[in-house]
Amino acid sequence: MTIKGKTMETKRLTHSSMTCAKTCLRKYYFRYVLGVVRQREETPRRVGTLFHLGLELGRVPDRPDYPAWCVDDEDQYKMDCDWAIAAGMVDAYLKYWEDDAAETVHAELEFDVPVANPETGGVTRKFRAAGKIDKIIVADGRKMIMEHKTTSDSLEPDGTYWRRLMMDQQISHYINGARSLGLGIENTVAYDVTRRPGQRAKSVPILDGDGIKIIEDENGERVMKKNGDPRQSGGEGMTLKARPETPNELRARIREAMLADPEQYFCRREIPRVEADLEEYAHELWQQQKLLTACHNAGYWFRNTSACVMFRSPCDYFEICYQGLAVENGVPEGYEFKRPHSELTEGGKK
């Protein structure tokens, strides 16, 4: 793939690419101009990704194959547990919403629409607004976008999660896209949010033939009380004989926990947009394309070093960025080239 070809692929403004540009223009250059990604981005182990796939399929997705980096039993167990958490979430979601009356009229709907100057109505040829909408639904006779999301945040009605959405550009971006396609939707998005459970795989006590826990001493011998009964609590130098929880046990535990307290895990709310919100979004879209066009023309993408470490994780491009490596024609080990906006159809849907 030539650099020139990859550069042409960047001329789409998606929610992800605009968020990336806001975070750091140098990061945008690596990801959306050059198409450089870390190889591990390909791995399908993420809980949120698997959960989303399950909602698309309407069933628990198959366990993904182990990627090349997954070399030992420990790695494979972690991957299996991630799948189990996602599977338990899908199980619980499908059970909780089994009586949902909303009708899906479009799924995984792509849009690729012009970007217009809100002052003059003139359309730029340099960028188009693009994205993929999870669903268009009809609920209670009203047609609207539905987006499925997962979060680790609280779903309390007045919590930050919902208040932030009132300002979220993605909602306006999708409403603008769906309206440009002439779908006759309401100016609202039904947010279908599932909170990721905090449970992780745990140790499970191994029981003897009578269903009693086994406490062992430093030599691996079972500890008995003076009366000859098996000891049931630990002490100095003693350990509870245990095994790792199996993925299927973890899946069942996640399902049970979510269905036992569904208000903590499932919530749907409509996030509306008035015309003033959409107008503000149109200005933002226009400003973004002007800024990115200026960067393309200058061939310079300035850094935001405040974004190099977020949530204690270094930026994916940290290694190549701080060393100032030239990656236009080749990438170091651990990176590869990937078509920007690979989640969308190549060339776009008009």
Residue ranges binding ligand SF4 (CB under 6 A): 24, 26-27, 303-305, 307-308, 315, 317-318, 321
C-alpha of 79 from chain center: 16
221 CB-near residues (< 8 Å, 6+ apart): none
**Of residues 39 and 264, the one with the C-beta less far from ligand SF4:** 39
Q: Which two tokens stand for residue 9?
A: 């692929």
Identify the residue whose tokens are 């159809």: 345
**Of residues 122 and 314, the one with the C-beta less far from ligand SF4:** 314
Residue 250: how many CA atoms within 13 Å on its side-chain side? 23
What residue type is 127 in one-letter code? F
Bridge partners, 104 (sequence order): 137
Query: Taking the complex as a whole, how short is the minimal distance between the CB of residue 32 and ligand SF4, in angstroms?
Result: 12
SS3 66: coil
**Of residues 24 and 109, the one with the C-beta less far from ligand SF4:** 24
Using CA atoms, how far apart are residues 59 and 86, in angstroms rounded to an integer? 11
**Of residues 102 and 327, the one with the C-beta less far from ligand SF4:** 327
Using CA atoms, how far apart are residues 202 and 88, in angstroms rounded to an integer? 15
**Of residues 69 and 302, the one with the C-beta less far from ligand SF4:** 302
Query: Taking the complex as a whole, how short is the minimal distance between the CB of residue 308 and ligand SF4, in angstroms?
Result: 3
Using CA atoms, how far apart are residues 284 and 250, in angstroms rounded to an integer? 44
Q: Which two tokens stand for residue 24?
A: 């750091």
**Of residues 27 and 45, the one with the C-beta less far from ligand SF4:** 27
C-alpha separations of 84 from 175, 193, 246, 348 in Å: 34, 19, 9, 35
Q: Which two tokens stand for residue 291?
A: 């800024």
Query: Taking the complex as a whole, how short is the minimal distance between the CB of residue 304 and ligand SF4, in angstroms?
Result: 6
Query: Taking the complex as a whole, how short is the minimal distance between the CB of residue 35 and ligand SF4, in angstroms?
Result: 14
Tell how strand 309-310 and strand 313-314 pair up.
Answer: antiparallel
For the chain, give the number of residues. 350
**Of residues 305 and 345, the one with the C-beta less far from ligand SF4:** 305
Query: Taking the complex as a whole, how short is the minimal distance between the CB of residue 341 and ligand SF4, in angstroms?
Result: 18
288 CB-near residues (< 8 Å, 6+ apart): 13, 18, 21
110 CB-near residues (< 8 Å, 6+ apart): 130, 131, 132, 133, 344, 345, 348, 349
Query: Taking the complex as a whole, how short is the minimal distance between the CB of residue 28 and ligand SF4, in angstroms?
Result: 8
Query: Taking the complex as a whole, how short is the minimal distance between the CB of residue 29 and ligand SF4, in angstroms?
Result: 8
**Of residues 107 and 325, the one with the C-beta less far from ligand SF4:** 325
Query: Taking the complex as a whole, how short is the minimal distance between the CB of residue 4 and ligand SF4, in angstroms?
Result: 22
